[in-house]
Amino acid sequence: ELILTGSQQEGFSKQMVEILHKHNIQFSSFDIFSDEEVRQGLKAYSNWPTYPQLYVSGELIGGLDIIKELEASEELDTICPKAPKLEERLKVLTNKASVMLFMKGNKQEAKCGFSKQILEILNSTGVEYETFDILEDEEVRQGLKAYSNWPTYPQLYVKGELVGGLDIVKELKENGELLPILRGEN
């Protein structure tokens, strides 16, 4: 876990955030201006008088100057955890639930006719499923097309495997094959 203390808008913190993003480093941040007790306590705890402070796995790495030195010596990448690669992320997402639907919109509100139709079909089966709104995440929207080798949405996955889009789901429903597939009985 990477923790950046300081407001992400403030000058030094903003520079540190830019360095972390440039190196594709995954981190969370805490705004010390939101909690005066933490702001004062952390200075004593870390024996470091200024902000921002970068921590990796609970250990203080240092402030902006040290991060810049680590970046220059190319040590930053070895110290900090990388954000997961897109392919890893897609694998996790397609396996998030036993039945996963990637669509425009969500269960409550479909944002296109095809997504609306596939929701109606899935709802009629009574099978539990999760949705992912591809309009909220352009990286996933583009990446999943290549990952699945399927150019359009919606896309239905069962246990991480692509079943297909609306036409295939309609066909499976008409053939009586949809329910067994959704239940993982195929």
For residues 63 and 95, state if they share a domain.
no
Q: What is the pLDDT of residue 21?
A: 85
Q: What average pLDDT does the segment 43-59 reach?
A: 88
CA distances from 147 to 88, 140, 142, 160 (A): 10, 10, 9, 11
Give percent of the chain with pLDDT exceeding 90.
Answer: 56
Q: Which has the minimum average pLDDT: 5-14, 71-80, 161-170? A: 5-14
Q: What is the pLDDT of residue 1?
A: 43
For residues 171 and 129, state if they share a domain.
yes
What is the C-alpha to C-alpha distance for residues 58 and 136, in angstroms, rounded to an integer?
Answer: 32
pLDDT at 5 over 80: no
Residue ending a domain, choose from 79, 106, 123: 79
For residues 137 and 161, state if they share a domain.
yes
Tens of pLDDT along 80-101?
Answer: 877 678 888 899 999 999 999 9
Tens of pLDDT along 7-28?
Answer: 666 788 889 989 988 888 878 8
For residues 65 and 129, state if they share a domain.
no
Render the burial of 55-74: b for 16+ CB within 10 Å, e for the rest.
Answer: beeeebbbbbeebeebeeee
Q: What average pLDDT does the segment 136-163 reach?
A: 93
Which residue range is the domain that position 151 belongs to? 86-183
Residue ending a domain, choose from 79, 103, 121: 79
Q: What is the pLDDT of residue 168?
A: 97
pLDDT at 122 over 90: yes
pTM above 0.75, yes or no: no
The CATH number for 135's domain is 3.40.30.10
